A and B are shown apart, each in its own frame.
Chain A
């Protein structure tokens, strides 16, 4: 089966510009996650969707970050305006459903963002 797809793979922007990332999860996976991975750190969950509803966005900086999953399949994550500290790899993951922690999350290759 096809894995989690993300685009673009790399993006360089200047601070205060906006940027958007796209993710297409594994077919049939109801749950979709966006993570931020800063260099030297583990991934940090930004937002989680169950179908097209938000389950958890407690760590999403809502003043500048937004995400949507309108049809319950693919998703976009936007940053507007970007700051230098947003430089990171943005990982998308999906799982079959929202389960009691046992469900494996499958990760995409990530989008590497550099904010100058």
Chain B
């Protein structure tokens, strides 16, 4: 069965520092992978997705993620954190079906 693991339920970084949010998946077939962001009292907003093709995916707000099949990972990065990046981030996977399996989320805190 497919699953998603997000390491670290809470991550703190200083403003201007590198953001790295980890996501590992379990799948027996090539997955489709997504990162969503959720700001307080709001729904989820798509940051980026990987379906096929280039393994380095660029998204909105300066975020990017790299699909590494050998490591079954899809970590989210941003070179320089901004205060407005403080939110909860969810990794999700599908296996060519409509059903998203979400991770438990990582809450990002940006320190001034």
Contacts and interface: CB of A to CB of B under 8 A. Distances in A.
Interface of A: 4, 6, 9, 31, 40-45, 48, 55-56, 91, 93, 95, 98-110, 112
Nearest to A100: B96
Given A42-B104, A43-B90, A98 B43 contact: no
A51 B64 CA distance: 34
Nearest to B42: A109
B26 to A, nearest CB: 15
- For chain B, give the interface size range: 20 to 34
B44 interface: yes
A101 B94 contact: yes
B95 A101 contact: yes
Interface string B55-66: 000000000000
B96 A91 contact: no
A108 B51 CA distance: 23
B105 A48 contact: no
Contact of B44 (A6, A31, A107): A107
